[in-house]
Structure 1
Amino acid sequence: MNKDLLLVLALLVLCITLFVRNRPRVDVVALLMIVALPLTGILELHEVLAGFSDPSVLLIAALFVIGDGLVRTGIAYRLGDWLVHRAGSSETRLLVLLMLMVAGLGSVMSSTGVVAIFIPVVLGVAARMRVAASRLLMPLAFAGLISGMLTLVATPPNMVVHAELVREGLAGFGFFAFAPIGLTILALGIGYLLLARRWLGSRDAENGEQDARRTLADLAQSYRLSERERRLRVRADSRLANQALNELELRQQYGINVIAVERQHKFRSLLLMATGNTELLPGDILLIDLASPAIALLGAYDELGLEPLPLQTSYYSIHSHVLGLAEVALPPDSELPGKTIQELGFRSRHKLNVVGLRRNREALDGLLVDEKLKTGDILLVAGAWKEIHRLQSLGRDFLVLSLPAEVDEVAPAARKAPHALLALAVMVALMVSGLVPNVIAALIGCLLMGAFRCIDMDSAYKAIHWQSLLLIVGMLPFALALQKTGGIELAVNGLVGALGDAGPRALLAGLFVVTALIGLFISNTATAVLMAPVALSTAERLGASPYPFAMIVALAASAAFMTPISSPVNTLVLGPGHYRFGDFVRVGVPFTLLVMAVSVAMVPWLFPF
């Protein structure tokens, strides 16, 4: 083991350690490696930066945009409604249809995005059917992972392995090369989870949620907003008149949070969403949320020059065409736990107001702006529907869990759903036919989405998960550095020395185990980047075809079933499903072994040695 290899391995161990600690963020770690590797003198600058022009990176970015187009046009949500209708009252039928639908959608768009879309659907259906949500959310996550085994573009590891084959001067995998194995694993997964669901919860619903599609009034009632809602008119002599909200500090001094302003304009009434810059005028009617229902404000009303008005029903229901509510969870990699609601600055950053907080499935009385957030907390936010939809696109920062039924009336691009399907069909057809490279097919799909106005440029840029792209770009140079310093050869020698006498199938099993174990600690994309060269070199050493070895790495990279931190898909359902770490181990480890057995049996049959 030479000095250069030791240096590269030290950087790799440091990289993995930082990934496990998640400090700093994985994209920052990737950038640190991009800076560090040229300084070692092992790689040239152009070799380290080559990932930015890698076709697989551009392809993944384009697929994020395609997936967001399907969300914005409401296609994914319509499929959820269809699922509710077809499942009826049968939990078994629901689980089967759910896994088939999620796997199908995940084969052409981000599995993380698909799972995020279906979490609120599953929570609503489970509540209506009085089924424990935990019996459905883990099958949802597993289906998202299995979707990565169905098509070439289903998950980044597939494209990473495909790109490694191309770099070696070989033909890559076809669009449906993964499908026979993936469909077999999907069928086994459905059967397995129909049996294993008894380990995940009881028949009784775990919470008191009401309907499959709750309304604004339902959300307001569950967070007890009606106790804190008020309508107040600004009198002509009010000291609030002609002043901006951020100058008044009503929330800090009086516990008054202004959500919106009703204003008479000529012959019609307008509803203005409250921001810090909103200037109050005499005659304006303020829709407010009190910090606590116990606050007595009659004296404050007189002091501020405000006149209480009657409120017969929730103003969220009255103004549902403009004003919305949504439940928002903090994703696993969020940096927000530990901050107070005041420090979030929701109004200034996202033009939304935090009006409720749910902790341990219980809504807190009132809203304590100095309350520090904890992992697993769920926020209720209020504001314009367009801002709530914009929050959905910030999947790396927030996960919108629940949208009420009224959202159907304000879908941002619902009329463009047929056009989005056409763009998707064109992309898939071009990829399957091979008329153009996959990245060109995906870019054509993006351009069609834009031309049909299924998505605009701002939304397209926000849809791209830049963190994932930087992770790939930062890890790609490690494969080249290990190859230059003899690290790949060392790994191959160890693998062949340990399992070579047992035959090529044993080597496939060994590659699967090593890839799956590495994937417990770092992302499956980074795992594929590291293991793909090892797989190809192992095949070369044996004088065998590289395709079965490359395929086994891709499949193992998607087999992240064993822990809640193995994949973002698992982490997303951890909180809503109220799972423990051991739940994933108990259900995921046997299924991973089953997937390995199927893969080792089928891969040589489809891709002979």
Structure 2
Amino acid sequence: MNGELIWVLSLLVVAVALFATGKVRMDAVALLVIIAFVLSGTLTLNEAFAGFSDPNVILIAALFIIGDGLVRTGVATKMGSWLMSVAGSSETRMLILLMLTVAGLGAFMSSTGVVAIFIPVVLSVCSRMKISPSRLMMPLSFAGLISGMMTLVATPPNMVVNSELLREGFKGFEFFDVTPLGLAILLCGIVYMLLFRFMLKVSGAADQASWKRRTFRDLIKDYHLTGRARRLAIRPGSPMVGHRLDDLKLRERYGANVIGLERWRRFRRVIVNVTGVTEFRARDVLLIDMSDPEVDLRQFCSEQQLEPMILRGEYFSDQALDVGMAEVSLIPESEIIGKSVREIGFRTRYGLNVVGLRRDGAALKGAIVDEPLMLGDILLVVGDWKLISKLGGRGHDFLVLNLPVEESDASPAHSQAPHAIFCLALMVAMMLTDEIPNPIAAIIACLLMGKFRCIDLQSAYKAIHWPSIILIVGMMPFALALQKTGGVDLVVRGLMELGGGYGPQAMLACLFVLCAATGLFISNTATAVLMAPVALAAAKSMGVSPYPFAMAVAMAASAAFMTPVSSPVNTLVLGPGRYSFSDFVKLGVPFTLMVMIICVVMIPLLFPF
């Protein structure tokens, strides 16, 4: 063992130790590794920084942007709502459905892309279910890795192994040859996560704080708004048609505060922000807050020719993409202290509706528009999210105190959702072909999302999780350093001597262990490149079929469950799940052993020696 190899292995041990302790940021450790390799002369400057030009790094950054585009257009939220509707309040059903969905999608597109897309979905679901994101983030990561075992094109290692078979003159694997193994491992993964998910319960301060955020339902209950809201459709011939809201004086005459308007546009109803100059049309649907309990609703509808419509209890939550709700308070320097909502013309001035008032901790009942506002009063406002944000920016009048959980679902570009889905579908279609490289497909999708205004330049740059990018780039030089110093060859030769004399099935297990161990430090693609020739040579020397050994390498390369740096998929969920290095070790090592047992048992049955 030469001095350079000892230095590289020592640096590797130090880096892993720093990852495990968590005392130094992982991205900082990665940058220190690059510095150490260059200053020691182990790698040249170009070699150490080669990761910054790696196409996979560009792909990961682009997928962060695409995921943000799906959030901004509301697609991710809709997917989360669908998962919630199917799973209900059951965390068990949610976990099962999430892993099945991610594994299914990842079988035909980049697992990293699928996980990046589903991270905001899982965060939204966890917020609504009031559970820690750590309970679902690791199942999401495991499902993403397992998806690479579902089809031949699901992950690069599968294609690397297949190419090595073809290069050696053997027939390659069929498209679904790996699927039986993948399905067995997926089933094992779901059961494993259901049994051991208690180990994922994290009670950090950030989690607890997020649980305390109230929902629309909480605010409606706190301000006694239950039963006050009505949905009323304007019939053709109504005296309201063609008139402006301020001219009708519905609040003075009926105690009816119009807080929203549904209007038909392109064969669907959309929420329109209501101001004093809004002119009503036939078939508009009014969302009205009836603050005066003495008003006869039947008489109101008869005089104005309105038709009552169903208003479900979850209406506001369902419309959270368009209708915002927040608590605001007056600041001491405000000029509107002592004035009523009507006097200041709140709706005309700010474009929002005041539907509740809390004073001394108690919500006032009845009409509040003529109640003089006092310092310390808290107002509940309803309207467009952008206008709520602007209201908080008016530092001389109001301070936004509390934004509900649904604020995270607000989508500033929800009207562009069809375009976002088109961009995603186009990217997947391009990735399924061999004509366009995956990074180019992702960049094309990003550019199209920008063209369709699903994202803007500022949001695109903010969407990239730079610590994850730096971590991946900083760890890439280890692969080259180990190859240059002979470390990988040394380990491979030793393991061949250790397991070669105990029969093909023992050698299968040895190959799996070697691949999984190597994958702790270098990418799964590099692992497959290094190990595929070894596997075929071992099969030739033992006089057995190369297919079982080749399949073992493909499966083991994807079994990167043991550390957060084993795969970009793990790195993606590290921050959102608030995991530590040891969390992956605790759950990843036992599961990797289970995957090895499944492979050692099933591979000889599917591909006889």
Match of 2:128 in 1: 124
How do 1:154-173 and structure 2 match up within 5 A? 158=155
Q: Aligned pair 1:539/2:535, yes or no?
A: yes
Q: 1:317 to 1:153 in 2, by over 3 A?
A: farther
Q: 1:173 to 1:437 in 2, by over 3 A?
A: farther
Q: What per-residue deviation string (whole Å, max 9, x for no partner) do you get for residues 50-78 of structure 1?
A: 22222222222222222222222211210
Match of 2:573 in 1: 569
Match of 1:269 in 2: 349
Q: Indicate if the aligned counterparts of 1:100 and 1:143 stay in contact, CA closer than 8 A.
A: no
Secondary structure at the aligned position of 1:269 is classed as: helix
Q: 1:175 to 1:265 in 2, by over 3 A?
A: farther
Q: 1:213 to 1:498 in 2, by over 3 A?
A: farther
Match of 2:184 in 1: 184
Q: Aligned pair 1:599/2:602, yes or no?
A: no
Amino acid at match of 1:25: R
Match of 2:405 in 1: 403
Name which of structure 1's ranges 102-111 and 419-428 shifts more when overlaid on structure 2.
102-111
Amino acid at match of 1:309: L
Q: What per-residue deviation string (whole Å, max 9, x for no partner) do you get for residues 541-596 of structure 1?
A: 526668435423432214669x9x98663774468xxx9989994x7665443322
The number of residue pairs the alignment matches comes to 461
Match of 1:360 in 2: none
**Structure 2 runs not aligned, ≥5 long:** 202-207, 224-326, 362-370, 541-545
Q: What per-residue deviation string (whole Å, max 9, x for no partner) do you get for residues 89-141 of structure 1?
A: 6665444323323445664625266245313413524x6xxxxx47x963553
Q: What per-residue deviation string (whole Å, max 9, x for no partner) do you get for residues 226-277 of structure 1?
A: xx97435747799xxxxxxxxxxxxxxxxxxxxxx999799941389xxxxx
Q: Indicate if the aligned counterparts of 1:559 and 1:592 stay in contact, CA closer than 8 A.
A: yes
Q: 1:437 to 1:553 in 2, by over 3 A?
A: same
Q: Indicate if the aligned counterparts of 2:329 and 2:378 stay in contact, CA closer than 8 A.
A: no
Q: Indicate if the aligned counterparts of 2:562 and 2:584 stay in contact, CA closer than 8 A.
A: no
Normalization by structure 2: what TM-score?
0.59
Q: What per-residue deviation string (whole Å, max 9, x for no partner) do you get for residues 471-515 of structure 1?
A: 333222222222122111111122222222234543443454466
Match of 1:18 in 2: 18
Partner residue of 1:138 out of 131, 135, 138: 135
Q: Aligned pair 1:5/2:5, yes or no?
A: yes
Amino acid at match of 1:490: L
Amino acid at match of 1:538: V
Amino acid at match of 1:446: C
Q: Aligned pair 1:548/2:551, yes or no?
A: yes
Secondary structure at the aligned position of 1:109 is classed as: helix
**Structure 1 runs not aligned, ≥5 long:** 128-132, 222-227, 239-260, 273-284, 294-306, 326-345, 356-380, 383-401
C-alpha distance in 2, partners of 1:446/1:270? 35
Q: Aligned pair 1:33/2:57, yes or no?
A: no
Secondary structure at the aligned position of 1:423 is classed as: helix
C-alpha distance in 1, partners of 2:424/2:485? 43
Name which of structure 1's ranges 309-318 and 261-270 shifts more when overlaid on structure 2.
261-270
Q: Aligned pair 1:466/2:466, yes or no?
A: yes
How do 1:308-323 and structure 2 match up within 5 A? 309-310=373-374, 314-318=378-382, 321-322=385-386
C-alpha distance in 1, partners of 2:19/2:174? 32
Q: 1:178 to 1:123 in 2, by over 3 A?
A: farther
Match of 1:231 in 2: 330
Amino acid at match of 1:30: A
C-alpha distance in 1, partners of 2:81/2:162? 41
Match of 1:275 in 2: none
Shift of 1:36: 2.6
Match of 1:77 in 2: 77
Match of 2:560 in 1: 557
Secondary structure at the aligned position of 1:599 is classed as: helix
Amino acid at match of 1:118: V
C-alpha distance in 2, partners of 1:500/1:269? 81
C-alpha distance in 2, partners of 1:270/1:498? 76
Identity among equivalent positions (%) equals: 40
Match of 2:302 in 1: none
Q: 1:200 to 1:489 in 2, by over 3 A?
A: closer
Secondary structure at the aligned position of 1:315 is classed as: strand
Match of 1:330 in 2: none
Q: Indicate if the aligned counterparts of 2:358 and 2:379 stay in contact, CA closer than 8 A.
A: no
Amino acid at match of 1:442: A
- Superposition RMSD in Å: 5.5
